Structures are given as structure tokens and as C-alpha cells.
A and B are shown apart, each in its own frame.
Chain A
Amino acid sequence: MEWFKKKKETNSEKKVKIPEGLWVKCDNCKEIIYKKEIENNLKVCPKCEYHFRIVARERINQLVDEGSFREIDSNLVTTDPLKFEDTKPYKIRIQENIKAHQINDAFIYGTASIYKRQVVIGVMDFSFMGGSMGSVVGEKIARAAELSLKERLPLVTVSASGGARMQEGMFSLMQMAKVSASVARLKEAGILYISILADPTFGGVTASFAMLGDVIIAEPKSLIGFAGPRVIEQTIKQQLPPDFQRAEFLLEHGMIDMIVERKLLKETIYKIIQYLMPLQSPY
């Protein structure tokens, strides 16, 4: 499930951090576009509608009422249970990521309001080790779900991840079961859970909380799947069909409820919450 990650990690640097300068080349249509124009357009290419990858804080700013986000548990960090070391120790890798991205792991959550409606919102950050899910991400998702349950607030998550984090081994794998069990409890309690899938969402994240939303929404053209496309290609030794694992492909196969453009995301979430879980029952 992890093969996909490495390649995309390097890509993401490029995509998330639009290079310095006034002009940017769109990854998709290759048009040269005035940077401000993309930024004012929620990081969507005005020429081809390509949705650039965005970091977690930017995503939250786009989805919630200004100034309403109260972050919780921002100070959780991994303890590196495997003492994992590859080309460099995992501990160092984490330190570098914390420094580079000003975030302690690949997920932030808290309470916020969406058009004045209170929610618990959690967002993955793909720039932090490919948005991979280890102990910290798993713990925060579980806590977010538990807070939703306790306060009876709808839960909204935005995923962007290569999958389970290899460097924490079985601790990471078990987070899949942990977070799935946590969101399961929302279903039993009648609390709405909306899962938004951004580019890319794979592996242990898709195979746990991300696909367990009562309502699942994807951004246009996002790559979403269980196994990464390269692993599949190597296994079946065939070329993959065009648009394979794109949001449009998932919609066609009945795996998601809808594809929503970034600029309509906030109001779509609001509408679904208001209709499914109104503050006062109309009946």
C-alpha cells in the first residue's frame, strides 16, 4: 500500500509549494498563470480547473468560518516505537518535517463553524510524510470522533494520504482498526460523518475512516484507491485504463456520493449537515 507514497511525496512538494515568483505553470494544462490568480481561486487553475494540492491549514481556512477554528491536541508527537531507521533515522525525519511544515504530524483537528454550524473538523496534511497515518494521526482521528460523539457535533474529515506509515510498522496498521472503530460509534449514535477525499488518498487511509463516511465527497480528478497504480501495474503487467482511480472512476463505480469542486465544498457540506442532522427535528 505504500509504494505509491514515495513517488508522490516528491511530486507533492512541487505541487503544494507553488514556486516563488509571480507566474506559475499549471501541472495539468501547462499554461503559465499569474500566481495571485490561482491563489484567489482557492488554488484551482482558472484555465483548466485543476485542483492543486493544499496543506491542512489552508484547507481548514477554505472550509470553515473565518477565525472559528480551535485546534486541539496540536502537541502530540510520535515516540518512534520501532526505532526505525532507513537512509536516516525516523526521529530525524520527523524533526525535519515538523520544522519544514510547522505542524507536528500529518493531521490537525479541532472544532469550528461552517456557516455558523458547529462541527468537529480534521484534515490530513499530505506535505507531512505523504500524509501517512501513524500513531499520532490515528490517535487524533479517534479523539476527533470521540469529541463528535461526546458533543454530538457532525464530524468532517478531509483525507490526502499515501496510506499507513511504514516507519511505525504494526502500530500504523492497527490505527486503521482503531479509527474505524471510533467512527463506527458515531453511526450507532446517529451522528453524521462526512468524509472528503482529496488528491491523493490511498492504502490504509482509504481502507479505514476515509471510506466510512455516511456521505463521501471527492474533489475533481483526485486519485483515490486502495493499491497504488504502480503496484497494480507491476502485478497485472498491463497498462491501466485512462482515468483509473480518478474521482470520476469512483463515482462511476458507486464508491462515492459526489464530486464537488473546491469552491462549492463548504456550502455542500453545510447543506448536507443541515438536511441530515438539523439542530431541531422538523418532524
Chain B
Amino acid sequence: MPYYLDFEKPIEDIENKIRGLKDSSGEEARGKELRQLEKKAKDTIERIYLNLTPWQKSQIARHPERPYTLDYINLILKDFVEFHGDRRFGDDPSIVGGIGLLDDKSVMVIGHQKGRGTKERIYRNFGQPHPEGYRKALRLMKLAERFKIPVITFIDTPGAYPGIGAEERGQAEAIATNLMEMSLLKTPIVSIVIGEGGSGGALALSVADRLCMLEHSTYSVISPEGCAAILWKKSGGLSVDDFSMAANSLKLTAQDLKSFGIIDDIIPEPLGGAHRDPELTAERIKEYIKTTLEHLMKKDVTGLVEDRYRKLRGIGAFKEIS
């Protein structure tokens, strides 16, 4: 049984009927009804997915069946050789990285990794990296730089892990160093937000020449829940309405961020979200990476790094007053 979000209830009802029909009556009788229901399901998905609120998008971005970094790696790359460890302290499974072939060209792919199922979720620490994850990522980026291989990053994390060990081993320093080093990296970086772009922990992998987002992914300075908790401290606890309001205020959707010029592109998702057709989503991501790299690999390295700086340098909303 697929997993349905609250607001997908109408879709669930229809698809349940479809499943019931497929299991029961004879071939002939069900044909017409099935087609009608499938049409209805499609219309319902369309109606819901063309009018998603920011809070609904936040939920889709974290959908438990949404494809994760390793899913896309397996769908996009011909072969993948994973590398491990930061050579300092450990290996962080909430960030994966390695090389593989994009058609016939080598790429370094690094991304946050969430787990599916309780055991793997815990193993991946729910996609919340420790400093070792960021340091491994940087090590692999430097490796790519040395061998003139482009870097692709997939962003999908609730945020960097807030824990004692993470603080002791310099979570802030690890993130800061990635921001600094990525701004200087002498090879193209393309970042794609595939799910949840959670604050500094997401940013630490997404200082890039091209930053793009899947249609229903989100990227935010703080989660809607965190924002609501700060803003509307209530004695009785917070409700979905509070989260909705916070999600609206934060302007965390791909569409908002594209309008601000903070991201470069949006990759459209299949109808009903990436989880309803991971293959098609992967195909579109692959096309995007190929087109983008074709352009970026032609640039001379000095110009590339300078343009990356200019791009970051231009982000800000301020004015002079007299």
C-alpha cells in the first residue's frame, strides 16, 4: 500500500477502489469502470497537485516514499563507486558520495541520505549529518577538483544534527569550511534540492554554479515547525494551522525562491510528485545535469569561480537610506 499524505485522501479513496476492482470482477466488466476511475484519479491528483500550499509542499518534500539521493544515483549513473570517511574521525552515513558515469563521463556525486524503514532511518540519522559528513563531502569535492571532474550534489536534509558530539567536533566549523571551500572550488558544482533543504545543513552542500530544485521540494532557513514554535509560542501547543502559516511566511517553495533569483531553475516533477514516478523524475534530473554541465565545463576555471562569487555576492535585499 502506498503512503498517502492527509491532503491526498481523495486520491487514496479512488486508488483504493481501483485496487479493489483489479482484485475482483472479471476482465470485461471492470474494463470500463477501471478506465473511468483511473481518469478520475488522474484528475484528482492534478487538481490537488496544481494547487499545493507551501505546507503541503513541505510534507511532500519529506514524503517517506520520495526518492532519496541513492535512488537517483542508481537511476542516473551507469556505475557508482561509493567512497567513505572523512580521514579525521569517522564515516557519516547521512551523507553519501562517490564517482560514477553520467553516460560516458565521470562525475562526483554527493548528497544527503535519508533512510527508508526504521532501521535504516536510524542508521542514516534521519539525514541529519555530523561534522564528519561535511568533511567527507569536502574531501570528495577536493578530489574531484584535482581530477577535473564536476561535482553534483543532492540536497535532502532536515538540517545538521544538533547533538553533543556534533558540537564537540565542530559542526559549525565543518559547515563554514564547506561554504568557504566550495566558493573557491576549481571545478563546476551543480546542486539539486530533491526533498528537504534544511537550513545550514543543506547549504553546506549547495554553494554551486547552478542551484536548482525539484518542483515540490523546499529550501528554508528554518523548518515551518521551528519557525512556528518561535513565533507563536502557545501554551496549548502548536497546530497544523500554525505550521501552515509559518510555511507561507517563510517563502520556502521552489517557485518563490526562483522568483527571488535565489535558485536558478526548477525541474518539473511527474504528476502527483516524484514518488509517483521516480524513473521519470530521474530522467529529467539527468537531462538537467547534462545540459548544465555541457555549458559549465566549457568555462575557464577562473571565470567559473569568479561567476560563482558574483552570483552569491548579488544575493541580498537591502537599500540605502539618506
A contacts, CB < 8 Å to B: 1-3, 5-6, 75-82, 84-87, 104, 135-136, 138-139, 142, 164-166, 168-178, 180-185, 187-188, 203-204, 206-212, 225-228, 231-232, 235-236, 238, 240-241, 244-245, 249, 253-255
Q: Is the CB of A3 within 8 A of B230?
A: yes
Q: Is the CB of A203 within 8 A of B200?
A: yes
Q: Is the CB of A171 within 8 A of B313?
A: no
* Residues 146-173 (chain B) with a chain A CB within 8 angstroms: 159-164, 166-173
A-B contact pairs, 21 of them (CB 8 A): A2-B230, A3-B230, A6-B230, A75-B320, A77-B319, A135-B316, A138-B316, A139-B318, A166-B250, A169-B221, A170-B257, A173-B199, A177-B179, A207-B160, A210-B176, A212-B177, A226-B200, A240-B164, A249-B168, A254-B170, A255-B170
Question: CA–CA, A84 to B203, complex, Å?
Answer: 22
Contacts of B176 in A (CB 8 A): 176, 180, 206-212
Q: Is the CB of B312 within 8 A of A184?
A: no
Q: Is the CB of B318 within 8 A of A173?
A: no
Q: Does B101 contact A (CB under 8 A)?
A: no
Q: Is the CB of B167 within 8 A of A181?
A: no
Q: Is the CB of B180 within 8 A of A181?
A: yes
Q: Does B81 contact A (CB under 8 A)?
A: no
Interface 1/0 per residue, B291-322 and A, CB below 8 Å = 00000000000000000110011011111111
- A182–chain B nearest beta-carbon distance, Å: 7
What residue in chain B is nearest A173 (Cβ atoms)? Answer: B221
- A164–chain B nearest beta-carbon distance, Å: 5
Which residue in A87, A136, A173, A185 is a CB contact (below 8 Å) of B203? Answer: A173
Contacts of B318 in A (CB 8 A): 76-79, 135-136, 139
Q: Does B14 contact A (CB under 8 A)?
A: no
- B27–chain A nearest beta-carbon distance, Å: 53
Q: Is the CB of B175 within 8 A of A207?
A: yes
Q: Does B268 contact A (CB under 8 A)?
A: no
Count the B residues whose beta carbon is within 8 Å of the partner chain — how many? Answer: 58
- A158–chain B nearest beta-carbon distance, Å: 17
Q: Is the CB of A82 within 8 A of B319?
A: no
- A12–chain B nearest beta-carbon distance, Å: 16
What residue in chain A is nearest B317 (Cβ atoms)? Answer: A81
Q: Is the CB of A235 within 8 A of B260?
A: no
Q: Does B102 contact A (CB under 8 A)?
A: no
A227-B167, A255-B173 given as contacts; is B317 within 8 A of A168 (CB)?
yes
* Residues 234-264 (chain B) with a chain A CB within 8 angstroms: 249-252, 257, 260, 262
Contacts of A80 in B (CB 8 A): 317
Contacts of A75 in B (CB 8 A): 320-322
Contacts of B41 in A (CB 8 A): none
Contacts of A171 in B (CB 8 A): 260, 262, 315-317
What residue in chain B is nearest A85 (Cβ atoms)? Answer: B249
Contacts of A204 in B (CB 8 A): 199-200, 221
Q: Is the CB of A226 within 8 A of B207?
A: no
Q: Does B10 contact A (CB under 8 A)?
A: no
Contacts of A177 in B (CB 8 A): 179, 182-183, 203, 207, 312
Question: CA–CA, A245 to B163, complex, Å?
Answer: 11
Q: Is the CB of A181 within 8 A of B312?
A: yes
Contacts of B29 in A (CB 8 A): none
Q: Is the CB of B321 within 8 A of A178?
A: no
What residue in chain A is nearest B168 (Cβ atoms)? Answer: A253
Interface 1/0 per residue, B206-244 and A, CB below 8 Å = 010000000000011110001101111100000000000
